[in-house]
Amino acid sequence: MTAEPVLEVRPSKAELVRAAAERLAEAIHGAQADRGTAHVVLTGGSMGSAVLAPLAEDPLRGLVDWSALHLWWGDERFLPAGDPDRNDTQARAALLGRVPLDPANIHVVGDPSAGSAEDAARGYAATLVSHAAPGATVPAFDVLMLGVGPDGHVASLFPDHPALAAAGSVTAVHESPKPPPTRVSLTFSALGAARAVWFLVAGADKADAVAAALAGEDLRTCPAAAVAGQAETVWWLDREAAAQVSA
């Protein structure tokens, strides 16, 4: 059972980012109040970093117990640690280097120094299962954020790509149509384990993908259509991205 999508539309990208950041801080605060900790999956791309930055500033900063926040990535570009194009490098600049997280709770994906993308996928899957409930392969992520490409990709799951059919929780991705070509991504199975899935989408170039996803298009041509949260699915959209789906 998954949650029907809810649209949160704001007039501009800036207003969208602010609203999503505020709700993210509130969601983390609530999860920590209920369970003592929170697990959040970050996304790469411009929206992924933009939503993180406001959390480093008060009042949002003060809502989060940074020592009890676990951060994961929905996908990672398979580049050397510290490479500016890695999602974790961009997240560190936006937020992680500005708040007192416990380094043990920042769960980055491996890099080429440790072997192949397949090795990194195996290692990330092992870390996920070590934080999961008995019988589960990934933690019950409190919020899993996803940017969406113009082609409807999410994480590093691209249309008509073999990775769409990957088993398990994490897969290596080769020949990505969006550079860099080699990546590591959560699979549909892992993405769908989240309590809340939030899509973060801005810009007119995404309007077709948003409409296709919400119309339930085939996952092979619109991977975003196949992802929903167990308890909540929110499409955070600016007016341009929502042009075909809301008044």
Which stretches of the chain bind ligand 6PG, using CB under 6 A? 43-48, 75, 77, 87, 147-149, 153-155, 178
Q: What is the residue whose two structure tokens read 């997240």? A: 91
Task: Report the interhelical angle of 45-52 vs 13-35 (nearest 10°).
Answer: 60
State which residue, 62 or 150, has the beta carbon closest to ligand 6PG.
Answer: 150
Question: How many CA atoms within 13 Å lie on the side-chain side of 73?
Answer: 29
- The minimum distance between CB 36 and ligand 6PG, in angstroms, equals 29
Q: How far is the CB of 74 from ligand 6PG (least distance, A)?
A: 6
Structure token digits, residue 28: 């983390």
* DSSP labels, 24-87: HHHHHHHHHHHHS-EEEEE--HHHHHHHHGGGGSTTTGGG--GGGEEEEESEEE---TT-TTSH
Closer to ligand 6PG by CB, 139 or 147: give it: 147
For residues 131 and 178, which CB has a smaller minimum distance to ligand 6PG in the complex?
178
DSSP bridge partners of 185: 75, 171
55 or 146: CB nearest ligand 6PG? 146
Using the minimum distance from each CB to ligand 6PG, give the nearer residue, 139 or 152.
152
Instruction: Please report the DSSP string for 152-218 in residue order.
Output: --BTTB-TT-GGGG--SSEEEE-S-SSSSS-EEEE-HHHHTT-SEEEEEE-SGGGHHHHHHHHTT--
Q: Shortest Cβ distance from residue 7 to ligand 6PG (Å)?
A: 17
CB of 52 vs ligand 6PG, minimal distance in Å: 12
Nearest-approach distance from CB 134 to ligand 6PG, in angstroms? 30
Q: How many residues are present in the chain? A: 247
Residue 174 main-chain phi, psi, to 5 deg: -115, 155
- State how far the Cα of 46 lies from the Cα of 65, in Å rounded to an integer: 25
Output 32 or 158, the one with its CB closest to ligand 6PG: 158
CB of 113 to ligand 6PG, least distance (A): 20
Residue 46 beta carbon to ligand 6PG: minimum distance, rounded to whole angstroms: 4
Give whichever of 151 and 232 is closer to ligand 6PG, judged by the CB atom: 151
* CA–CA gap between residue 48 and residue 94 (Å, rounded): 9
